[in-house]
C-alpha cells in the first residue's frame, strides 16, 4: 500500500512525524516488512534521524520516477548497479522534497508529484558507504517524456527503461518498489501524465 503525506502539513524530519508516516505505510512482502520494523526501531532511538552526521543510521529519500516511457534508472557510480535516484535529506527539508530534489539533480529532468501530493511507495533499509545504514523513504514522482540530461558530476548512465527492462536490470532491493510503481501507473498514469512537466 502507498502512503500520501498531507501536502498541507508536510512531514518534518522528526522521529514522531517519520514514525507516523512509516506506521501508516503498509509493507508488501517480507523484505519491506522487515525494513519497516527496523525503520521504526531506529526512529525510536534517533533524536535527529535525517542528520547524516548525527548517527551512522539515518533517513534518506529516493525517487521512483515514472512516466509514459516507463521508469528512470541510473547506474550508481560507486556501486555499479542500476537503481533509483536519491540521497541525503538536507537540514529543514521534508523527505519527499529531498526525493524530488535528488531526482532532478541526478537526471536533469523536471519532476512532479502525482496529483494529490507526494506518494510514499516503499521503505527500505540498506547498508551504505562508510559503515552507514540508510533508512530509505521511496517516493513516486512523475517525469516528462524526454531523455535525462544529468549534469557533470552525476552518473552519466541514466535513462528511461520500459518496465520489463527495468525489472531485469534493477538492483534486487528495488524490485518491490518497481512492481508497486508500475501497478500505480497502470491505474492512474493517464491522469498523472497531465501532472508531468512539459518536455
Q: Which CATH architecture has domain 15-187?
A: Alpha-Beta Complex (3.90)
Interval 152-159 mean pLDDT: 92
Report yes or no on whether pTM surpasses 0.95.
Answer: no
Distances (CA, A) of 77 to 80, 154, 160, 181: 6, 8, 17, 24
Residue 74 CB neighbours (<10 A):
23
Reported confidence tier of residue 150, pLDDT bands at 50, 70, 90: very high
Summarize the chain as % helix, strand, coil (round to 5). Answer: 35, 25, 40
Please report the pLDDT score of residue 3 as a whole number. Answer: 54
Average pLDDT, the chain: 90
Q: Which of 6-10, 28-32, 33-37, 149-153 has the lowest mean pLDDT?
A: 6-10
Residue 199 has pLDDT above 90, yes or no: no
Amino acid at each position: 500500500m502507498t502512503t500520501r503525506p498531507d501536502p498541507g502539513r508536510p512531514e518534518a524530519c522528526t522521529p514522531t512525524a517519520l514514525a507516523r508516516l512509516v506506521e501508516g505505510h503498509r509493507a508488501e512482502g517480507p523484505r519491506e516488512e522487515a525494513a519497516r520494523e527496523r525503520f521504526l526501531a531506529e526512529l525510536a532511538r534517533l533524536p535527529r534521524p535525517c542528520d547524516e552526521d548525527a548517527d551512522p543510521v539515518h533517513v534518506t529519500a529516493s525517487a521512483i520516477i515514472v512516466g509514459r516511457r516507463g521508469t528512470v534508472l541510473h547506474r550508481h557510480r560507486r556501486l555499479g548497479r542500476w537503481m533509483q535516484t536519491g540521497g541525503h535529506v538536507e537540514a529543514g527539508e521534508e523527505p519527499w522534497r529531498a526525493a524530488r530534489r535528488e531526482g532532478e539533480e541526478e537526471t536533469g529532468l523536471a519532476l512532479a508529484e502525482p496529483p494529490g501530493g507526494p506518494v510514499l511507495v516503499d521503505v527500505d533499509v540498506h547498508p551504505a558507504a562508510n559503515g552507514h545504514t540508510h533508512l530509505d523513504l521511496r517516493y513516486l514522482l512523475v517525469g516528462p517524456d524526454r531523455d535525462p540530461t544529468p549534469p557533470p558530476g552525476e552518473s552519466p548512465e541514466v535513462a528511461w527503461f520500459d518496465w520489463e527492462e527495468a525489472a531485469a536490470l534493477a538492483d534486487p532491493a528495488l524490485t518491490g518498489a518497481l512492481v508497486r510503481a508500475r501497478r500505480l501507473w497502470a491505474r492512474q498514469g493517464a491522469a498523472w501524465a497531465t501532472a508531468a512537466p512539459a518536455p
